[in-house]
Structure 1
Amino acid sequence: MLDVNNLTLHYGHSQILYDVSMSAEVGKVTCLMGSNGVGKTSLLKAISGTHARSGGDVTLDGGAIPRGAKAHALAKAGVGYVPQGRDVFPLMTVRENLETGYACLDRSERSVPDEIFELFPVLQDMRNRRGGDLSGGQQQQLAIARALVTKPKLLLLDEPTEGIQPNIIKQIGDVIRYLRDQGEMAIVLVEQFFDFAYDLGDNFVVLKRGEVTLNCDKQGLERATLLESVSL
């Protein structure tokens, strides 16, 4: 579903990513790991079109993504992005937040699937509450649900467990596992919680100072080897 080849990215004169290559397959979770500040979020921004890459090639579902492609065009092409910090609209209701996902859908597809509320029952109960009145965990569920409304082929999740209580972390993990097992999308997960990532991941990409230091699948990968690579 996703192929990234020799991607570079700058913020002004500062280079953040150096010739990053990775891929993400349908029906699998690709975990993007590394310490803070190594470029994980920047890579998701480049893939989602929220920050232009400086160089390299990105292919989505067999089609090349132009370097200057905008986020709304990529959302329409099937990229769902759940940013770090959630970015829900605090003064809009849960229902209205979900409906913002309609922007990249044809009119005939503009509805919130029942499956969304099956995955996140709390959103059904709070559909008329403002986004800003929800707890951090509930806002994270809303952010993921909003991305799912867009019917993504590729789902990008940036630190979905950050600042979340354990019971909701488990629920989010169950949702990611369910989405993977449906075999209809590729998932890229940026995650600092090692056990959560290792449990869910099928493939692992480790970044250090903007470069890939490990890129392999889980089969045959020792947990200790991955942990050491992430910790270096």
Structure 2
Amino acid sequence: MLKLTDMTLHYGHSQILNGISMEARQGEVTCVMGTNGVGKTSLMKAISGTHPRSGGKLELNGEQLGVLPAHRMAWKGVAYVPQGREIFPLLTVRENLETGFSCLPVSEHFVPDEVFDLFPVLKQMQNRRGGDLSGGQQQQLAIARALITKPNLLLLDEPTEGIQPNIIQQIGEVIRHLRTTSRMAIVLVEQYFDFAYDLADRLVVLRRGEVMIKGTRDNLTRDQVLQAVSV
């Protein structure tokens, strides 16, 4: 579904990503790990188009894409749940979900039952303002809003950050469900090691904007990954 070759990214004169090559496959979870400041969020921004990459190739579902802005990448089937969630606090839960309609034809402007099946609390709180929800509920709303767009590629940046343990468990169950029942590829950036390693089909560990190790979970032991993340 996604293939990156030698991707680079700069903020001004500072180079943040240095030749990132990786892939994410349909029906799999690819976890990107590493310590703070190694370029994980920058990688997500480059893939989603929220910050333009400086170089390298991006192939999505067999199509080579140029440097496209975020709304064009969304139309191509890329859904991005950023760190911090970025829901609209003054809009209701339903109105937040409806913002995902912008990527869909008019005939598909409805909230699928599956979204409320995955996140029952959102059905109960449809008329509550987003800003009135707890952090965990806002995270569920952000993921649900991304699913409204019917993505081929789902990007999740630190979905467990600041979330209570029972919501973390629910989010993990949702990711497992999506992996087994949908045609999308999932890229997960995560600091919570056990959460990430248990979900991963593929792992990519970054260090100073470069790929330190990568491979399938079958080919990388837990100790190998933990040691690479700890360096």
The normalised TM-score by structure 1 is 0.99
Shift of 1:183: 4.0
2:26 is equivalent to residue 29 of structure 1: no
- Aligned residue runs from structure 1 range 1-232, under 5 A: 1-67=1-67, 69-232=68-231
Distance 1:106 1:122 in 2: 27
Deviates more, 1:140-149 or 1:104-113: 104-113
| Unmatched 5+ stretches in structure 1 | none
Moved over 6 A (4+): none
Distance 1:49 1:214 in 2: 25
| Unmatched 5+ stretches in structure 2 | none
3-state DSSP of counterpart to 1:15:
strand
Shift of 1:65: 1.3
Distance 1:218 1:92 in 2: 40
1:122-181 Cα offsets, whole Å, 9 max, x none, are 000000000000000000000000000000000000000000000000000000000001
Distance 1:110 1:216 in 2: 39
3-state DSSP of counterpart to 1:56:
strand
Aligned-partner residue type, residue 202 of structure 2: N
Distance 1:185 1:215 in 2: 21
Aligned-partner residue type, residue 112 of structure 1: V
Deviates more, 1:220-229 or 1:48-57: 220-229
Shift of 1:220: 3.0
Count, aligned residues = 231
Distance 1:127 1:158 in 2: 24
Distance 2:42 2:3 in 1: 16
3-state DSSP of counterpart to 2:66:
coil
Distance 1:112 1:230 in 2: 39
Distance 1:221 1:192 in 2: 18
Distance 2:72 2:20 in 1: 23
3-state DSSP of counterpart to 1:5:
strand
Shift of 1:221: 1.7
Distance 1:220 1:14 in 2: 34
Aligned-residue CA RMSD (Å):
0.6
3-state DSSP of counterpart to 1:196:
helix
Distance 1:146 1:86 in 2: 10
3-state DSSP of counterpart to 1:128:
coil
